[in-house]
Chains A and B, each alone.
Chain A
Amino acid sequence: MIKDITLGQYFPGNSPIHRLDPRSKLVLVFALLIIIFLCQNFFSLALITVFSVVCVLLSRIPFKTMMKGLKTIVFVILLTSILQIFYNHEGTILWQWHKIQITTGGVSMAIFITVRIICLIFVSSLLTYTTSPTLLTDGIERLLKPLKKIHIEPHTLAMMMTIALRFIPTLIEEVDHIMAAQKARGADLESGNLIKRAKALIPILIPLFVNSFRRAYDLAYAMECRCYRGGDGRTRMRIMKLSGVDFAAYAVCALLLAGVIVLNICFEAVI
């Protein structure tokens, strides 16, 4: 059951989006998030929405999968929309009951924010859907190289992320085993109130921690046996090189930014 969780949520493929250099993808996604926040009216928002949808189509990730990604934050979307509807009192009144009123301004704000959140989710989940975790950490490591100047070791950060990703499935499996073992000894993990159930977790967490330390010790030994000595003097098997697709993507995003700015200037802001 727990084992079924897939992590990183990577869907292998060979689309233009998949083929982008991971560094480009990181930079562009970051830029797109900013561009999405720059949108001030429905025209620029429409541009961004069309762009996001085109990206999803290009990546050949099924829309159903994208929607599943939305499911987890449906609550956040609903909450912000409702708050907008009731607290925004601009425009003409559509419906009123005592002090509570719904206005056109409120409704359009709610729509605006919902669309914006959906765009944000689409763009950022495309990053993890189309990039393998290894490439992603590699990309982060190479992008953060300049941090070396202020004595932050990007290699160490990337190595930590890699090891964490590598061991998550292993630890999940281990939790399964420990839970089975504790149940076999009569541990009751399912009944009782929240506090009782939280307490029942202790006999699972303690063995998990102890074992993790053992694993860490073993892993450190194995890494040292394989001549690991930090990032200095280390080479990488994979060579990262920007290609035509990357330059095209940068150009498209630059145009998009220009488009959003122009539309913001030409039309009245709603936010």
Chain B
Amino acid sequence: MNKEIMIQIQNVTYAYEGDEEGSKLSPVLQNLSLDIYRGEFLAILGHNGSGKSTLTRLCNAMAQPDSGKVYVDGMDTADEKLEYDIREKVGVVMQNPDNQIVATIVEEDVAFGPENLGVEPSEIRRRVDSALRRVGMYEYRNHEPHKLSGGQKQRVAIAGVLAMQTECIILDEPTAMLDPQGRREVMQTIHELNREMGITVVLITHFMEEAVQADRVAVMDEGQILLLGPPREVFAHRQVLLDSGLDIPQSAKLADRLQQLGICLPGDILTPDDFVSSFRAYREGKR
């Protein structure tokens, strides 16, 4: 993987404003540093309130760090003049699909971003069609958003970000409100964007199974990065994960239980596929 940096977060501390004028609550992010590489698929894990959504706000210039710096493609987010250039590069998809769709028709909603950027009408048309095809929602372009399923709505939201031709998409728990079917659709879509279009994907999630499929996993705790690395390295620290209130992938859990019963499966097990092949190898060995 090339190591060009897309988003650079340097020693960032951030606290929300308190109720009283000028007062600050205790910091949500503390001296946090993280480099997000161009074209990578980064998953961010962390218990509720660990500051994941806050980090998102800092990455697209919706909030500025109290100390430290955030650079998006070399642009300082503290520079007010660059605010919209930054948001053009970094798109955000939120958890609740209902609250991020603005227009009454699918294609109108996808056009919302490019319209705000002042793109030419014919170019908007082209971008909207291609974005909708990309996420497999082209046939639904004239539908009303409220009649779509959760997974479909979320894909429309992703198309809305794509139409702005962002280089990086941050998805804040995009699958939290979806059923397994919708979750599969959305995950497949974002993996395709990452693989085929080279878009940098930052996926905030509570599902370990989704994190396992990423290039790198970052674990946040108390406003800091606790662990960072490829999924296999991160999930090897089982105790650290459990201590910070997180889970480990089902397959890994099952392998652990078997180990306690004296059945030692070979290799590192993270995904169901790992488990199956490892179990096969174990059976072969027994014979």
Asked if A237 is at the interface (CB within 8 A of a chain B CB), the reply is yes
Residue of A nearest to B57 (CB): A221
Assuming the contacts A162-B103, A222-B99, A227-B84, asked whether A235 and B94 have C-beta atoms less than 8 A apart, the reply is no
Asked if B19 is at the interface (CB within 8 A of a chain A CB), the reply is no
Asked if A134 is at the interface (CB within 8 A of a chain B CB), the reply is yes
Q: Are A237 and B118 in contact (CB under 8 A)?
A: no
Asked if A145 is at the interface (CB within 8 A of a chain B CB), the reply is no
Asked if B243 is at the interface (CB within 8 A of a chain A CB), the reply is no
Chain B proximity of A131: nearest CB distance (Å): 12
Q: Which residues of B sit under 8 angstroms from A228, Cβ to Cβ?
A: 112, 116
B113 is contacted by which of A163, A166, A219, A227 (Cβ under 8 Å)?
A227
Interface residues of A in 200-232 (CB under 8 A from B): 214-215, 218-219, 221-229
Interface residues of A in 232-256 (CB under 8 A from B): 233-239
Asked if A132 is at the interface (CB within 8 A of a chain B CB), the reply is yes
B108 is contacted by which of A219, A225, A234, A237 (Cβ under 8 Å)?
A237
Residue of A nearest to B161 (CB): A226
B60 is contacted by which of A134, A225, A235, A236 (Cβ under 8 Å)?
A225
Asked if B76 is at the interface (CB within 8 A of a chain A CB), the reply is no
Q: In the bound complex, what is the Cα–Cα distance between A132 and B128 (angstroms)? A: 19
Asked if A69 is at the interface (CB within 8 A of a chain B CB), the reply is no
Q: In the bound complex, what is the Cα–Cα distance between A239 and B122 (angstroms)? A: 9
Q: Are B87 and A227 in contact (CB under 8 A)?
A: yes
Q: Are A134 and B105 in contact (CB under 8 A)?
A: yes
Asked if B88 is at the interface (CB within 8 A of a chain A CB), the reply is yes
Chain B proximity of A35: nearest CB distance (Å): 31
Q: Are A162 and B104 in contact (CB under 8 A)?
A: yes
Tally of contacts, chain A with chain B, CB under 8 A: 95
Asked if A170 is at the interface (CB within 8 A of a chain B CB), the reply is yes
Interface residues of A in 159-204 (CB under 8 A from B): 162-163, 165-166, 169-170, 173
Binary contact track B64-88/A, C-beta < 8 Å → 1, others 0: 0000000000000000000010011
Q: Are B87 and A133 in contact (CB under 8 A)?
A: no
Q: Which residues of B sit under 8 angstroms from A163, Cβ to Cβ?
A: 102
Q: Which residues of A sit under 8 angstroms from B107, Cβ to Cβ?
A: 237
A162 is contacted by which of B84, B102, B118, B120 (Cβ under 8 Å)?
B102
Chain B proximity of A2: nearest CB distance (Å): 13
Q: Are A226 and B160 in contact (CB under 8 A)?
A: yes
Asked if B203 is at the interface (CB within 8 A of a chain A CB), the reply is no
Q: Are B108 and A134 in contact (CB under 8 A)?
A: yes
Q: Are B121 and A237 in contact (CB under 8 A)?
A: yes
- Size class of the contact patch on chain B: 35 or more
Q: Size of chain A's interface in residues, with CB distance under 8 A?
A: 30
Q: Are B98 and A234 in contact (CB under 8 A)?
A: no
Residue of B nearest to A225 (CB): B92
Q: Are A238 and B84 in contact (CB under 8 A)?
A: no
A215 is contacted by which of B99, B119, B124 (Cβ under 8 Å)?
B99
Q: In the bound complex, what is the Cα–Cα distance between A8 and B112 (angstroms)? A: 21
Q: Are A238 and B104 in contact (CB under 8 A)?
A: no
Q: In the bound complex, what is the Cα–Cα distance between A28 and B47 (angstroms)? A: 59
B62 is contacted by which of A221, A234, A238, A239 (Cβ under 8 Å)?
A221
Q: Are A239 and B121 in contact (CB under 8 A)?
A: yes
Q: In the bound complex, what is the Cα–Cα distance between A51 and B177 (angstroms)? A: 52
B116 is contacted by which of A218, A221, A229 (Cβ under 8 Å)?
A229
Asked if B91 is at the interface (CB within 8 A of a chain A CB), the reply is yes
A229 is contacted by which of B84, B112, B114, B121 (Cβ under 8 Å)?
B84
A235 is contacted by which of B100, B121, B128, B144 (Cβ under 8 Å)?
B121
Assuming the contacts A227-B116, A234-B115, asked whether A166 and B102 have C-beta atoms less than 8 A apart, the reply is yes
Q: In the bound complex, what is the Cα–Cα distance between A188 and B26 (angstroms)? A: 44
Q: Are A222 and B100 in contact (CB under 8 A)?
A: yes
Residue of A nearest to B109 (CB): A166
Q: Are A227 and B60 in contact (CB under 8 A)?
A: no
Q: In the bound complex, what is the Cα–Cα distance between A35 and B124 (angstroms)? A: 40
Assuming the contacts A226-B87, A235-B120, A237-B108, asked whether A166 and B164 have C-beta atoms less than 8 A apart, the reply is no
B112 is contacted by which of A226, A238, A239 (Cβ under 8 Å)?
A226
Can you list 26 A-B pairs with a CB-CB distance of less than 8 A? A162-B104, A165-B104, A166-B145, A169-B146, A170-B98, A218-B96, A218-B100, A221-B62, A223-B102, A223-B112, A225-B62, A225-B91, A226-B87, A226-B91, A226-B102, A226-B112, A226-B113, A226-B164, A227-B116, A229-B84, A234-B115, A235-B120, A236-B111, A236-B121, A237-B114, A238-B121
* Top 7 closest pairs, chain A to chain B, by CB: A218-B99, A222-B100, A237-B111, A169-B146, A237-B124, A226-B113, A227-B116
Instruction: Add 9 more A-B contacts to A224-B62, A227-B88, A227-B117 (CB < 8 A).
Output: A132-B104, A133-B104, A165-B104, A169-B146, A215-B99, A222-B100, A222-B102, A229-B116, A235-B119
Which residues does A use to contact B, with CB under 8 Å?
132-134, 162-163, 165-166, 169-170, 173, 214-215, 218-219, 221-229, 233-239
